[in-house]
């Protein structure tokens, strides 16, 4: 076998081994993988995908070479010719996490500085994106696709993140259009009992209602001096990374509590038809809140005829529940490591990424759940539902971010706009969700 092909296979095996070791370690410690581990796995997966493509290419070359040699051997010839061996060089993407080239500095230098080298690198990167996605991605400076390693490395970290969107059904936006239409069967077919033999069945008239979902834009903008861009250190990872985090956090917050107007998505809490459970209590306790949680779960079962698969709440609410004790001052929700018996809930460790469950349903702590609801603007909410019916469509298959550069008049500065297109709805089956609200969810009262 070709020595270069052996090297490619060995490199791939090593990278896959790192992924397997990370997952095995998490399994042995009975914990979920961390955000950093997830980012490393995603980066390794991209490298493995590129190696797989190169392995296929080299294998095809070796197959052709063998067939050519077989054909040549079958034809008598008095002339001997030697050909230079085929040589395949493995190259990484133009911009990657270990690159000595800065994507943001190159983009600005190419746009405003007329740098041929920078423009050539940017153009090469945009071509790589098109080849990888097999589409006609944007290749001009009005809409540069942000390198994937920035999205993978920075989007999930700090800020509130997009924890609710990550458990939702994710899809890709159509290539064009500012609305998406989803058909909803609102009047089904009715079955009847035949009153007597040889009589015609009773006819029913099914009907559907079109659910129209708007495609909206979320954007962030910041000005930066040219000196900071061209001579600064870490500008790309700090500012562009933070803009990406801000984008993802805003998008997640809209999916939870967007108004559906003024360019906002219609979030779960404002979707007409979801199950509503009110908890009114000036001195709330876990013993009084627990039946409300059960009510919300059974409302999904009774009205949606399905089961809730996640409970989403603010970390403050999760903390209020976890600190509850019984009459003997023992915690009601206990650490999973103790092998609890008859406990309504458990957790592996307190924290934003903890594995916390109530009644066997995983709890997602999402800081984007509002804490300013109600007349006193001090109430939060608990959302319980089947989040398979929470739909988010984004541009470019999960990498919906583009960057645009402008030059403000009269300033030696660069204005950077990070933006993306998306559509969201929880309205296909509103009864798949329950929201618990009321004065009992003022966490300061717990």
Domain boundaries, the chain: 1-71, 157-185+206-232+249-446
How far, CA to CA in Å, does 273 sit from each of 139, 276, 422?
A: 43, 9, 23
Q: Quick one: angle between helices 35-74 and 3-28, nearest 10? A: 150
405 backbone dihedrals φ, ψ, rounded to 5°: -115, 135
Of 3.40.30, 3.90.1690, 3.40.50, 1.10.3470, the CATH number of 157-185+206-232+249-446 is 3.90.1690
Pairwise CA distance, residues 392 & 398, whole Å: 10
What is the distance, to the nearest Å, from the Cα of residue 131 to the centroid of all Cα atoms in its chain?
A: 23
Side-chain-facing half-sphere of 35: CA atoms under 13 Å: 17
pLDDT in tens for each of the 446 residues of the chain?
567 678 778 888 888 888 888 888 888 888 888 877 787 788 778 878 878 887 887 787 777 777 766 766 665 554 444 555 545 455 667 777 667 677 767 776 776 666 778 788 877 877 776 555 444 333 334 456 666 665 555 444 457 889 999 999 998 888 788 998 888 777 878 888 888 888 888 787 777 788 999 999 998 888 877 676 666 655 655 677 778 888 889 999 999 999 999 999 999 999 999 999 999 999 999 999 999 999 999 999 999 999 999 999 999 999 999 888 888 888 888 888 777 777 888 888 778 877 889 999 999 999 999 999 999 999 999 999 999 999 999 876 545 467 777 777 766 677 778 888 999 999 999 999 999 999 999 998 88
How far, CA to CA in Å, does 369 sit from each of 142, 170, 313, 421?
A: 34, 20, 6, 22
| pTM for this prediction | 0.66
- Judge residue 420's burial from the number of C-beta atoms within 10 Å of its C-beta, 0-12 exposed, 13-18 middle, 19 or more buried: buried
Which is nearest to 313 in space by CA: 357, 259, 248?
357
């Amino acid at each position: 076998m070709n020595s270069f092909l052996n090297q490619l296979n060995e490199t791939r095996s090593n990278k896959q081994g790192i992924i397997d070791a990370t997952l095995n370690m998490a399994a042995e410690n009975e914990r979920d993988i961390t955000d950093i581990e997830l980012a490393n796995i995603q980066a390794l997966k991209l490298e493995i995908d590129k190696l797989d493509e190169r392995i296929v290419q080299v294998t095809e070359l070796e197959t052709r070479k063998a067939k050519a040699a077989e054909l040549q051997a079958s034809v008598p010839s008095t002339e001997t010719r030697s050909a230079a061996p085929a040589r395949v060089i493995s190259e990484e993407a133009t911009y990657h996490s270990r690159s000595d080239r800065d994507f943001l500095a190159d983009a600005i230098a190419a746009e405003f500085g007329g740098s041929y080298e920078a423009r050539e690198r940017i153009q090469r990167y945009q071509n790589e994106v098109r080849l990888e996605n097999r589409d006609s991605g944007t290749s001009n400076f009005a809409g540069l696709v942000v390198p994937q390693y920035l999205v993978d490395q920075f989007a999930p970290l700090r800020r509130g993140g997009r924890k609710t969107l990550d458990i939702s059904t994710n899809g890709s936006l159509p290539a064009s259009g500012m609305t998406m239409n989803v058909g909803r069967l609102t009047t089904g077919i009715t079955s009847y009992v035949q009153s007597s033999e040889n009589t015609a069945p009773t006819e029913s008239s099914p009907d559907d209602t079109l659910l129209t979902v708007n495609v909206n834009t979320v954007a962030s903008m910041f000005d930066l001096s040219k000196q900071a861009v061209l001579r600064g250190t870490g500008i790309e990872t700090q500012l562009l990374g933070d803009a990406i985090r801000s984008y993802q956090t805003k998008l997640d917050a809209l999916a939870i509590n967007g108004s559906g107007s003024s360019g906002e998505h219609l979030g779960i809490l404002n979707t007409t038809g979801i199950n509503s459970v009110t908890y009114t209590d000036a001195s709330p306790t876990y013993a009084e809140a627990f039946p409300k949680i059960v009510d919300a779960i059974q409302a999904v079962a009774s009205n949606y005829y399905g089961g809730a698969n996640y409970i989403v709440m603010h970390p403050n609410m999760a903390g209020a529940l976890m600190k509850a004790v019984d009459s003997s001052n023992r915690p009601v929700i206990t650490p999973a490591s103790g092998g609890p018996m008859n406990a309504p809930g458990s957790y592996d460790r307190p924290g934003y990424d903890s594995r916390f469950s109530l009644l066997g349903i995983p709890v997602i702590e999402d800081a984007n759940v509002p804490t300013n609801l109600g007349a006193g603007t001090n109430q939060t909410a608990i959302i319980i539902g089947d989040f398979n019916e929470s739909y988010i469509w984004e541009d470019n298959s999960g990498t919906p971010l583009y960057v645009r550069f402008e030059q403000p008049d009269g300033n030696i500065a660069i204005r950077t706009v990070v933006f993306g297109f998306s559509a969201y709805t929880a309205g296909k089956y509103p009864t798949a969700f329950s929201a618990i609200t009321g004065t009992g969810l003022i966490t300061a009262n717990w």
